[in-house]
Chain A
Amino acid sequence: MSVRNRIRMRYKKRDIVVALSLAISMLALAMVLNMGGLGILPPRTLRSLARSIVINTYNPWNTTLTSYSLNAVSAIIWDYRGIDTIFETSVLMAAVTGVAIVLRESHKGRKPGGQGMSIIVKSSTKIVMLLTIIGSLALAVHGHLTPGGGFQAGSAIGATLSLVLVALSLQFIHRIGIDKDTLLKIRYTVLAMILAVALVPLISLVLGYSYAYILQNQVREGSYFSMPSKFFTTPLAGTVFVFNILETITVASAITYIVLTVATYEGKTEE
């Protein structure tokens, strides 16, 4: 029996084992679902943790637990589970650094890319780019009032810039002032700003005004420090608003950086 046949036989045997184990896990999951391991789905009542979050997200009658954000998801992301999200942003930055290290052999001297697509595609892409960026800025600014927030707005801006890279050209992106080094600088600066905003409440502790917690947004038990909760009559939700805008810049620059790195990569196989 030749080597090729032996390898083929081994893969066939492994396929059977994989199929059998997947079938068994499917049956086990079906049994768990059938016996109600996840509870009766969909439930008629809200879980108690979710109920307390939903009631306290904008609750002027319970000032030590509220975050004055009408959007409960934004309140969870940036207030109730804030440290989680800050570390998640750090993971995003670590991934960007990893991509930058792995694909570091980029075009240096000669100008890559063509002249872009036809004039019709170029003009319509410019219009779409303007509308999408305005829409994503609205998403970011209203992140505590309406559905949306920092991640969504940043992803939309990043997707728009990759569309521009395809339809127009790399030179156009360089001409409007977007560069890999600039993006990396923006990214580090904004991450440092997020950490700084998280540490702002400690100022009141240093000045002896009251106790304070890291990432504190509104008044908490035993602490009188509070970020602004209203902008004239519009709810502002304190740090949620600030973090949404900073996160938009972070995610947009990260996605654009990854796309630009892959686009300018000199992908030759080694002889």
Chain B
Amino acid sequence: MEDLVSIAFSVAITTFVINMIVGTYGIFVKHNVIKKILALIIFSDSLNMLSIAIGFRIAEKYPSPPILTTEPRDPRDLTQFADISVDPLPQALVITAIVIGFSVFAFLLSLAVLYYKYNGTLDIRTSLEVEENEEGFQ
């Protein structure tokens, strides 16, 4: 059973890393500004998932979320809780990262709207090469 969990965990982590690489590829290769931003969103969300996965653990019976369900009556309750609880630190950092990511992407998308307004297109090639070699294009 534990081997199965470990194998599934490796598969999940490899998937997140592959997702991040797909996101990097999109950022570099796609010409559309919106598609670049979407690739960046894929990258950051895969990174968040990876952080959450690193905070996971194996516990006796099942791991529990880092939330006490009842007020502890005895110090031993707290030790028992620490024996099954997952790591709360990545979760707290990830929710901060999600909100910062939201604000950054909102700003980037508004810049994309501005780009469309001044160039009439979302293709970044229009402002780079095409203006230099204008006679080659009809």
Are B57 and A251 closer than 8 Å at their CB atoms?
no
> From A254, which residue of chain B is reached at the shortest CB distance?
B103
Given contacts A50-B87, A76-B89, A76-B92, contact A88 B100 (CB under 8 A): yes
Are A103 and B10 closer than 8 Å at their CB atoms?
no
Are B117 and A44 closer than 8 Å at their CB atoms?
no
C-alpha gap A71/B83 in the complex (Å): 16
* Residue of A38, A46, A57, A151 most packed against chain B (CB within 10 A): A46
C-alpha gap A43/B79 in the complex (Å): 18
* Chain A interface extent, by class: 35 or more
A270 at the interface (CB under 8 A from B): yes
Please report which residues of chain A, range 1-41, place their CB below 8 angstroms from some CB of chain B when the two chains form the complex.
Answer: 2-4, 7, 14-15, 18-19, 22, 25-26, 29-30, 33, 38, 41
B3 at the interface (CB under 8 A from A): no
Residue in B28, B54, B106, B133 whose beta carbon sits within 8 Å of that of A18 in the complex: B28
Are B88 and A76 closer than 8 Å at their CB atoms?
yes
Size of B's binding interface in residues, CB under 8 A: 64
Query: For residue A254, which residues in chain B have a CB less than 8 angstroms away from its CB?
Result: 103
Query: For residue B104, which residues in chain A have a CB less than 8 angstroms away from its CB?
Result: 95
A118 at the interface (CB under 8 A from B): no
Are A88 and B81 closer than 8 Å at their CB atoms?
no
> From A154, which residue of chain B is reached at the shortest CB distance?
B99
> From A17, which residue of chain B is reached at the shortest CB distance?
B28
B113 at the interface (CB under 8 A from A): yes
Residue in B65, B96, B106, B136 whose beta carbon sits within 8 Å of that of A84 in the complex: B96
Query: For residue A4, which residues in chain B have a CB less than 8 angstroms away from its CB?
Result: 136-137
Q: How far is the CB of B123 from chain A (nearest CB, A)?
A: 12
Are B54 and A61 closer than 8 Å at their CB atoms?
no
Query: For residue B54, which residues in chain A have a CB less than 8 angstroms away from its CB?
Result: 38, 41
Are B58 and A70 closer than 8 Å at their CB atoms?
no
Pick from A130-138, A238-246, A261-269 the stretch touching chain B.
A261-269
Are B58 and A42 closer than 8 Å at their CB atoms?
yes
Are B129 and A43 closer than 8 Å at their CB atoms?
no
The 6 closest A-B pairs by CB, nearest first: A3-B136, A95-B103, A76-B92, A72-B66, A72-B88, A3-B133
A-B contact pairs, 29 of them (CB 8 A): A4-B136, A7-B129, A18-B25, A22-B21, A22-B25, A26-B17, A26-B21, A30-B14, A42-B6, A42-B9, A43-B57, A46-B83, A50-B55, A50-B88, A51-B82, A53-B88, A55-B81, A55-B82, A71-B66, A77-B92, A84-B96, A91-B103, A98-B110, A99-B107, A102-B113, A235-B71, A262-B110, A262-B113, A269-B117
Residues of B within 8 A of A (CB): 5-6, 9-10, 13-14, 17-18, 21, 24-25, 28-29, 53-59, 65-69, 71-72, 75, 78-79, 81-83, 85-89, 91-92, 95-96, 98-100, 102-104, 106-107, 110-111, 113-114, 116-118, 120, 125, 129, 133, 135-137
Apart from A26-B21, A50-B89, what are 14 other A-B pairs with CB-CB below 8 Å?
Answer: A4-B137, A18-B25, A38-B54, A42-B58, A46-B82, A46-B87, A50-B55, A55-B82, A73-B66, A91-B103, A92-B99, A102-B107, A251-B99, A267-B116
